[in-house]
Amino acid sequence: KGAQPKSSWALMKNPEGVNIDLFVSHAWAEGIFEFANHLLNEWPDDCHAAYICFLSNPQNLDTDLYLGSPGCLEEYAFYQAIQSQHLKRMVMISTPNLPIHRRAWCCYEAYLALQRDLPVTIGGDKKYLATMVREYRKTKKLEKNVRHVARHRNLNSSIRLLLDAVEFVSKWLVELVTILAICLAVTVLFPVTVAACFLTPIILLEDRLPTLVKIFVAAPCKALYFAFCGSLRFAIEWLYSNPFLKAAAGLVYFVFFPLIFLLQFLWAQASGLVVAVDEAIQKRVEEQELNEIIRIDVDVGLAQASTESDRKAILSAIGEDVKLVNSMLTKLILGEAKNKIRGAQCAVQ
């Protein structure tokens, strides 16, 4: 169905209206996919219809035509939506582009939720509600943390390269020993097996064989048998008399085999260690971020609106409850972070 002039998307889809049970507060600074992912991840099971201002308000009209009288907040659409008796919850969507408590409209929506005692949850990463990430990254402490983490990760990368080299050498040694074993089997074990299975019975039964069989079968087999045994004996004697080959054989059996098992054992142990170091680094970074966030205070008085008159009207409507709104937003943002920090401290103790 095509767009309808002077109609919002929500009204076009629900021309008869719909009872909302979820109110979505956001900073108008996030991308649509970020907004949708955060909202869907936090969508309550008991809610079926939501008020989202950019879908509920007709975006092709001048906002002054439908927002209400300047400074009269009770006439605004979002105010009337929050006052709905069907409303059950509020979700505040976070974004790294702008802290939601820096937007006066969102602070006022949080204040109205506080008045109505509505459950409020956060969609997305809570730390983005507390501070601008770009500003946070400029602090010297974070730069120091980043350098510290970078050193650990560079060391970890070097260890990984060393482990990859160990794994490569180990596999190469396994292949080399496999080739040597195959050569040994082809040159020694296979002829010995043939001699034991076929030549020996013929030689032992030579007296009972017919004359023609003795001449054309037994005699060549006997000659082949003694020639092979003599060659094998000569080869063994030559091997043990040749210092180079003796050293090579000793290297294979007493160096290569133990080295293969040792390298494989070390690779298995070190791989687990590298994974553990990666996890420890990530956990340390998260704890540092949470510790930094805990030191940030939320101040609704610093929030901005599209016009100065709206900002003053919002702060005037909140009045002396500014501290309550600050406390509410702080608990939403930092409540989980503080629990994580306390848990980590208890674990260390």
Q: What count of other Cβ atoms lies within 10 Å of the Cβ of residue 83?
A: 12
Residue 58: predicted pLDDT: 78
Residue 104, pLDDT score: 83
The pLDDT of residue 301: 78
Question: Tell me: the pLDDT tens digits for 282-321?
Answer: 666 666 655 555 555 667 777 877 778 878 888 888 888 8
Higher-pLDDT residue of 269 and 20 is 20
Mean pLDDT of 273-279: 68
Q: What pLDDT was estimated at residue 43?
A: 92
- pLDDT level of residue 51 (50, 70, 90 thresholds): very high
**Listed ranges 54-63, 176-185, 188-197, 273-282; the one with the highest mean pLDDT:** 54-63
Supply the mean pLDDT for the chain.
71
CA 16/CA 162 separation, integer angstroms = 68
State mean pLDDT over 212-235: 64
- Provide the whole-model pTM: 0.49
More confident residue, 156 or 40: 40
Structure confidence at residue 121 (pLDDT): 87
Q: Which pLDDT does position 198 carry in this prediction?
A: 60
Q: What type of residue sits at position 347?
A: A
Among residues 338, 316, 307, 303, the alpha carbon closest in space to that of 127 is found at: 338
| pLDDT bracket for residue 227 (50, 70, 90) | low
From 17-21, 89-93, 213-217, 298-302, the region with the lowest mean pLDDT: 213-217
Distance separating alpha carbons of residues 36 and 123, to the nearest angstrom:
10
Give me the pLDDT at residue 345, please.
38
Q: pLDDT at position 340, please? A: 39
| Model confidence band, residue 349 (pLDDT cutoffs 50, 70, 90) | very low
Residue 130 confidence (pLDDT) above 90: no
What single-letter DSSP state applies at residue 321?
G
Q: Does pLDDT of 348 surpass 60?
A: no
Is pLDDT at 129 greater than 70 in this prediction? Answer: no
pLDDT of residue 202: 62
Rounded Cα distance between 188 and 175, Å, is 20
Alpha helices in the chain (DSSP H): 9-13, 32-42, 53-56, 64-67, 77-82, 104-116, 127-130, 133-136, 140-184, 190-194, 200-204, 211-213, 219-241, 243-251, 257-294, 308-318, 322-348
Q: Which of 35-39, 161-165, 231-235 has the highest mean pLDDT?
A: 35-39
Q: Lowest-pLDDT range, 184-198, 265-279, 301-315?
A: 184-198
* Among 64-68, 120-124, 151-155, 298-302, the range of highest mean pLDDT: 120-124
pLDDT at 20: 92
- pLDDT for 47 equals 92
Cβ contacts of 80 within 8 Å, gap of 6 or more: 74
